[in-house]
Structure 1
Amino acid sequence: MEKAEFYSFYKRIPKAELHIHIEAVISKDSIRTLYLKKNGTAFSDAEMEKLFSYSDLNGFIAAFLQVQDLFTEVSDFDLVFEDLKNYLLRNGIVHCEAFFAPSAFIKKGFSYREMTENFAKNIRKIKEETGITVWLLGDVSRTFGLENAENNFKMFTENPFDGFIGIGLGGAESKGPSKDFGPVFEQALSAGYHAVAHAGEDEGPESIWDAIKICHAQRIGHGISAVQDEKLMDFCAENQIPFEVAPTSNVFTKKYVKSLSEHPFRAFFDRGMLVTLNTDDPLFFGAELLDEYWNACTQMNFTDEELKQVILNSFKASFLSESEKSAACSAVEEAWNARK
């Protein structure tokens, strides 16, 4: 297919996205709105260019925190969820399991309870307006240490809301090894919540092993350094441990891959691993989900049938019920066959 036809067709295929940070779906227009509201002056093109001029993972995290700092009140999240809704519609996403990171906002003095009321309201609004389901995973954040992570989880459990499904471990991987966060994962899983971990994005395969063996993470975010460990890839394939892969993000941070063509997503798929395609931070890395599917086609030699399997994987790896997964996969097949 030509590019325009590809995008048109794949937009019609229902998809799930499982690794995306809600603050990073915000649009540049919303950033300008928040900046003007906070500072009383316009955010210049030069400042916007500088904001997105990072060259590694830590630089990206610094930019991410800078955007978070523009928020002055809880109602600012209305902009985020409106941008999220539009993003999901543009990319044909019918189910999304997204991360939110409360630590920086709590440190700014935001009320977490008010945040959850806003999130629940906006999740309902998206469902009512579009039929799209959005579930949220709270980032316990390795950047601020285990005690902060446990405090975050305690805050989550004391303030549950409709749409909150569990925790994610994100942040600077080098500053917070996966093995340090076993206790908070044990608490979450024991309480019946889901728990996932970024691992192998900026550290070697031992980080992934620790996320699996010590944290018992139900999904691995990124996981690209697994390609260095044959036993790890075989273990993950045999046990169908889902990987939330975001190729453009990995190329952008330049830790293990410098181009899409050398990304291990193809190797993982061929190994029989349960891999899914995701964007991580679409605004920050300049790629939306349809772009990632196009890249897989043109840069990684995926066929249409293989990409259909990746789409099916997105639902299989989700935290939907088995009946919901079955219905979603049937909808994929129906939309796919409508082309024939």
Structure 2
Amino acid sequence: MLTHFVAYIILSSPLQLRESKGLPTIKLRPHCGEAGDIDHLAAAFLLCNNISHGITLRKSPVLQYLYYLAQIGLAMSPLSNNYLFLEIDRNPFPTFFQRGLNVSLSTDDPLQIQYTKEPLVEEYSVAAQVWKLSSCDLCEIARNSVYQSGFSHEAKSHWLGNKYILRGPEGNDIHKTNVPNLRIAFRHETWTEEMQYVYSGNARIPEEIDP
């Protein structure tokens, strides 16, 4: 937990300077919630843009709900987890995805764990087979990964469309993402209702997503 605060303090001043000059900034995306105590997940909630792993959120419904409300990205690696910590049939990825958490699939230790020359495709293929993910599901997960990435605005516009920073179906270009507007609308409306519930109907929903 302390390492998150130290990293945040060290990075905060130079990043503020870079941002003020219009230069690219570094976002804090630590390995977090793979094993051990859940305290560092609480610290990451306060300080981090995204995290890698996050499987121990399954042990804390409160933190899981906060991560959902904040839409903090979780880049999860089920095959790595299966090898090291948690068997794939117990992995919370499909549950997190169904509940609307901002999850994506990623690799971890691919030289040690994966068997093919396309380790990320391997993650998607296994996840699709084990959890019966549809093509719509896979495309939504891939869409999430672009939002979570550190790619430039131009790169994200190329993959997601020019309006990708807008919330809801207005920001979805189905010709780019292959995700139906109905799915995006469902995610957005459900999240908005939860935010209004928490804020007693007074939530201020930004029109744009922080890329």
Structure 2 distance, partners of 1:220, 1:181, is: 11
Distance in 1 (alpha carbons) for counterparts of 2:157 and 2:64: 27
8 Å CA contact 1:218, 1:242 repeated in 2 = yes
> Is 1:185 aligned to 2:8, yes or no?
yes
Aligned positions of 1:1-340 closer than 5 A:
178-192=1-15, 193-213=26-46, 216-254=47-85, 257-258=86-87, 260-286=88-114, 288-330=119-161, 333-334=175-176, 336=178
Change (3 A) 1:229 1:195: same
Bigger CA radius of gyration = 1
Q: Secondary structure at the match of 2:124?
A: helix
1:188 partner amino acid: L
Distance 1:297 1:312 in 2: 16
> For 1:97-127, what per-residue CA distance to the aligned partner results, in whole angstroms no more than 9, with x for missing partners?
xxxxxxxxxxxxxxxxxxxxxxxxxxxxxxx
Percent sequence identity over aligned pairs: 25
SS at match of 1:310: helix
CA displacement, residues 212-247 of structure 1 (integer Å, 9 cap, x when unaligned): 22xx11111111000111111111111110011011
Question: Deviations 1:163-221 (Å, cap 9, x if unpaired)?
Answer: xxxxxxxxxxxxxxx224412322213321322211111213222112222xx111111
1:31-59 deviation line (CA, Å, top 9, x unaligned): xxxxxxxxxxxxxxxxxxxxxxxxxxxxx
SS at match of 1:196: coil
Partner SS, residue 30 of structure 2: strand
CA distance in 1, matches of 2:93, 2:175: 23
Matched residues in 2 for 1:332 and 1:285: separation?
Answer: 34
After superposition, give the CA deviation of every residue in 1:286-326 in whole Å (9 maximum; x if it has no partner). Answer: 25111111111111121110110000001011123444323
Match of 2:168 in 1: none
- Structure 1's consecutive aligned runs of 4 or more residues displaced over 4 angstroms after TM superposition are 334-337
What is the Cα deviation at residue 265 of structure 1? 0.6
The residue type paired with residue 11 of structure 2 is: A
Offset at residue 328 of structure 1 (A)? 1.1
Bigger fraction of residues in strand = 1
For residues 307 and 291 of structure 1, the distance between their equivalents in structure 2, rounded to whole angstroms, comes to 13
- For structure 1, the 5+ residue unaligned runs are 1-177
Give, as a single letter, the amino acid of the residue that structure 2 aligns with 1:324: A
Higher relative contact order (CA 8 A, sep 6+): 1
Aligned residues: 155
Q: Please give the TM-score of this superposition, normalised by the length of structure 1.
A: 0.43
Residue 243 of structure 1 aligns to a residue whose secondary structure is strand
**Is residue 30–residue 50 contact of structure 2 (8 Å, CA) maintained in 1?**
yes
2:182 maps to what in 1? none
Matched to 2:129, the amino acid is: T
Shift of residue 253, structure 1, vs aligned partner: 0.5
Query: How far is 1:336 from its partner?
Result: 4.9
Distance in 2 between the 1:226 and 1:181 partners?
17
Question: Does the 8 Å contact 1:179/1:211 carry over to 2?
Answer: no
Change (3 A) 1:229 1:283: same
Query: For the residues of structure 1 that align with 2:177 and 2:98, how far apart are their CA atoms?
Result: 25
**Match in the other structure for 1:140:** none
Could you tell me how far apart the structure 1 residues matched to 2:81 and 2:48 are? 20
C-alpha RMSD of the superposition:
2.2
Q: Secondary structure of the equivalent of 1:244?
A: strand
Q: What SS class does the counterpart of residue 28 from structure 2 fall into?
A: strand
CA distance in structure 1 between the partners assigned to 2:101 and 2:69 by the alignment:
8
